[in-house]
Amino acid sequence: MSAAALATANFQLRPLAEADRDDLFAHLSDPATVEFMDIEPLADLAGADAIIAWATGLATTGDGVRWAIRDRAGAFVGTAGFNALARERSSRGEVAYDVVRARRRQGVMAEVLPAVLDHGFGALGLHRIEALVTPGNAASAALLEVNGFTREGTLRGYGFWKGRFWDQWLYARLAP
């Protein structure tokens, strides 16, 4: 399965690829960027290569899609996509996103997330889109709520990374 490219007025979303390697490394090696994520800051380019391979695998199997987000000038501003798609006895996806620190609070995801959700409910035919938010990430929680998501609860001790168990807030939105 080949992932489609998406566009908004100010941003292009293309499947994460080898050409994004250096930008992805610079982005995800920043401790502030990965503060609420389930990964450590990337230590070397091999970490970026692994993420690109993971994203390529998701697209190849149809289990998800991850896009690099670039502005009109071609600058890398983050990533977004569906980390998982569930089709068996279901029709749901898990959306996730991140923005480079220098572009935070500038409306990047306010513009990009609706296009990603439209793709999920439209082309991917999803009935339910979920998002997991690490408690404390108020900006992500607010973005989801503005985009019609409901916080359904707290998944206690849901994940293990960075040497400990983490709770996750479960957000979801159903197809219109």
Q: What percent of the chain has pLDDT over 90?
A: 88
CATH topology (fold) of 6-127: Aminopeptidase (3.40.630)
> pLDDT of 25-79, one tens digit each?
999 999 989 988 888 899 999 999 999 999 999 999 999 999 999 999 999 999 9
pLDDT of residue 2: 54
88-to-85, 93, 130 alpha-carbon distances in Å: 9, 12, 16
> pLDDT of 81-104, one tens digit each?
999 999 888 899 999 999 999 998
Q: Sort strands 65-71 and 76-86 into parallel, antiparallel or unpaired.
A: antiparallel
User: What CA–CA distance (Å, rounded) separates 120 from 168?
Assistant: 22
The angle that helices 138-146 and 108-121 make with each other, rounded to 10 degrees, is 50
